[in-house]
Amino acid sequence: MATPAAVRIAERELLLYRRIWRENVIGAFVQPFLYLVGVGVGVGSLVDDGGGRAEILGDVSYFAFYATALLATTTMFNTSQEALWPTMDGFRWSNAFRGMIGTPLEPRDLATAFLLTFGGRALITSSGVACVLALFPSTRSLGLVGAVPAAVLCGLAFAMPIAAWTGSRDVDNTFPAILRFVVMPMFLFGGAFYPVEQLPRALETVAWFTPLWHAIELCRGLVLGGLDVGSALGHVGVLGLYIAAGWIACTIVFDRRLRP
């Protein structure tokens, strides 16, 4: 029985990942833990003692509010970086992707394999965050089980469009800017630290179009409750659109790049 092409490409990633899995897995626990203690506990104690929390966050503690967003944001950061430099390596530096398409594989297979490899990395990262959240009573919930795949969708909604961008670049000089001016602002304004309703109307509208806001709403709702089926499907739909658009962009860009 023939193995699907994308799976055979992903086998290479798996072999490479075996070299770095320890650092990666430890990072998946440590990074969210630091954020959680630094912001969730530190800022949380200020917010929860202050006035106005109840009318904005309801009966949710700031710690729980912020912690649930970490499922989406940590995954976003990790897969975004993964889609930049390591992907550039395959196109430009080691040229491994060029070697690939000298075989029966096609650029489209590579795009599909990215769904598997970025998805796999997102799964590891978001599982790490979920394990950390399970340590704390206010975020310990069966909903974490559903939030992990939701965070994987979030990771792919970033990784796929960014990978298409990477595939179109000759040099990596724009990569820090992608992180600073695309990813970072979403982190700040996408509803991780406060509900986007707190933003000026115009910025709030912008937030609705970002994949991160949908992912945070989805993860938060799944863990803390209060998410109706309609909005859940809506959030999944938007993330799915970003992933699909990213995959299509990848197939076009990779074909131009690898088969000039």
Contact residues toward another protein (CB under 8 A) are 2-3, 8-9, 11-12, 15-16, 19, 94-96, 98-106, 258-260
Surface-to-core class of residue 93, CB atoms within 10 Å of its CB (0-12 exposed, 13-18 middle, 19+ buried): exposed
Q: How far is the CB of 100 from another protein (least distance, A)?
A: 6
Hey, CA dihedral for 32, 154, 63, 207, is it positive or negative?
A: positive
Please say which residue, 103 or 198, places its beta carbon nearer to another protein.
Answer: 103
Q: At 222, list the tokens.
A: 């799944």
Query: Is the Cβ–Cβ distance between 212 and 181 less than 8 Å?
Result: no
Mark residue 202 as left, alpha or beta (left: phi above 0; alpha: psi -120 to 50; beta: remaining).
alpha
Q: How far is the CB of 82 from another protein (least distance, A)?
A: 15
Q: At 243, list the tokens.
A: 């992933």
In degrees rounded to 5, what are phi and psi of residue 171?
-135, 165
Please say which residue, 37 or 96, places its beta carbon nearer to another protein.
Answer: 96
Please say which residue, 200 or 260, places its beta carbon nearer to another protein.
Answer: 260
Please say which residue, 93 or 209, places its beta carbon nearer to another protein.
Answer: 93
Please say which residue, 131 or 252, places its beta carbon nearer to another protein.
Answer: 252
Q: How far is the CB of 99 from another protein (least distance, A)?
A: 3
Angle in degrees, CA 41, 45, 47, rounded to 5 = 115
Q: How far is the CB of 9 from another protein (least distance, A)?
A: 7
Q: How far is the CB of 3 from another protein (least distance, A)?
A: 6
